[in-house]
Amino acid sequence: MLDWTDRHCRYFHRLLSRHALLYSEMVTTGALIHGDRARHLDFNAAELPVALQLGGSEPADLAQCARMAEDWGYSEVNLNCGCPSERVQRGAFGACLMREPSLVADGVKAMLDAVSIPVTVKHRIGIDKTESYEFVRDFVGTLSLAGCRTFIVHARNAWLQGLSPKDNREVPPLRYEAVYRLKQDFPGLEFVINGGITQTDQIAQHLEQVDGVMLGREAYHNPWWLSQWDAQFYADAGQAELTRETIERQMVVYMSEQAAMFGTPWQTIARHMLGLRHGLPGARRWRQVWSDHKLKALPPEQVMALAHQRAA
């Protein structure tokens, strides 16, 4: 979710669900150690609970960045072993790390020794076209011996050659049964399933087999879906009175605050809420207004009024 789940996106999603664990974009260890830490790590306390997802492979660097995550107040640090992009492979991290479980285990142990917050791993069920359950079973087993207790599993292989990252989310077949089998073989570990999940009933079915469900692009493009989760999965009906208009107004207040404090243009924030009226009459015209850079000089309150006028 690079360039998607930034701090503004997470603030928006937290308005919709009080309880869902939110994840950052993947941030490389190099960017944190040598770059602008605050730019990558700062977040609004309202986003909590929130996990920092790291990309890296050197145990010492991972440990250093895990300490940063804990010091900054993150709820969890997550190591990405699932991203298949060629850029990530050139950095020797992401899905290609599944070929080196001992190195990943060293990284996990180094992070666990460095922090008290949970350390988790996100990975695929295999790499390239080899669909061997034993491969992912042994990967999980090796990491569990290093102390990892929670695995977020995208239920597809990652093809490291010949497919774009987009195709890697669609072409390799989904094999949910492999994730279910991991839970059966490692009942003491926590497994969160990911990949191709677009309906509430699918979430409920998966929760009968595993411990959690991770949602990515569907939640981003159809964010109002999140507003149902607290009541359905956390026995919290407190969000039942939410409306899309309430959320939009809260985001307008946030946009104004961010502009006043940091000079953040409202368009930088509004892009994350363009799916809020997904499926409603007038949604396209509403999106067009919030996407119109010709309106950038207007305050967000006026943009909202114009969006509603056009969508009516």
Q: Which domains does the chain have, with CATH numbers?
A: 7-237 (3.20.20.70), 244-311 (1.20.120)
Q: How high is the pLDDT of residue 37? A: 95
Tokens of 207: 């929760």
Tokens 């149902």 correspond to: 228
Question: Largest Cα–Cα distance in the chain?
Answer: 59
What distance in Å separates the CA atoms of residue 104 and residue 59, rounded to the nearest whole number?
Answer: 8
Closest CA relative to residue 50, chosen from 104, 13, 2 = 13
The count of residues in the chain is 312
Q: How high is the pLDDT of residue 264? A: 96
Q: What is the mean pLDDT of residues 286-298?
A: 96
3-state secondary structure of 173: coil
Q: What is the mean pLDDT of residues 24-45?
A: 95
Vertex 268: Cα angle to 247 and 123 (nearest 5): 85
Residues 109-164: tens digit of each pLDDT: 999 999 999 999 999 999 988 889 999 999 999 999 999 999 999 999 988 877 77
Whether 83 is a known active-site residue: answer yes
Cα–Cα distances (Å) from 4 to 25, 86, 173, 223, 230, in that order, read 7, 19, 25, 13, 23
Confidence of residue 266 (pLDDT cuts 50, 70, 90): very high
- Of 65, 81, 83, 96, the catalytic one is 83
Confidence of residue 1 (pLDDT cuts 50, 70, 90): low
3-state secondary structure of 293: helix
The predicted model scores a pTM of 0.93
Asked if residue 59 has a cis previous peptide bond (ω within 30° of 0), the answer is no
Residues 49-75: tens digit of each pLDDT: 999 999 999 999 999 999 999 999 999
Asked whether residue 93 carries a pLDDT value surpassing 80, the answer given is: no
Closest CA relative to residue 270, chosen from 239, 238, 227, 307 = 307
What distance in Å separates the CA atoms of residue 93 and residue 55, rounded to the nearest whole number?
Answer: 6
Residue environment code for 42-64, b if the CB has 16+ CB neighbours within 10 A, otherwise e: ebeeebeebbbbbbbbbbebbbb
Q: How high is the pLDDT of residue 83? A: 84
Sorted by sequence, the CB contacts under 8 Å of residue 221 that are 6+ apart come out as 275, 278
Asked whether the beta carbons of 92 and 29 are under 8 A apart, the reply is no
Asked whether residue 229 carries a pLDDT value surpassing 80, the answer given is: yes
Beta-bridged to residue 81, according to DSSP, are: 123
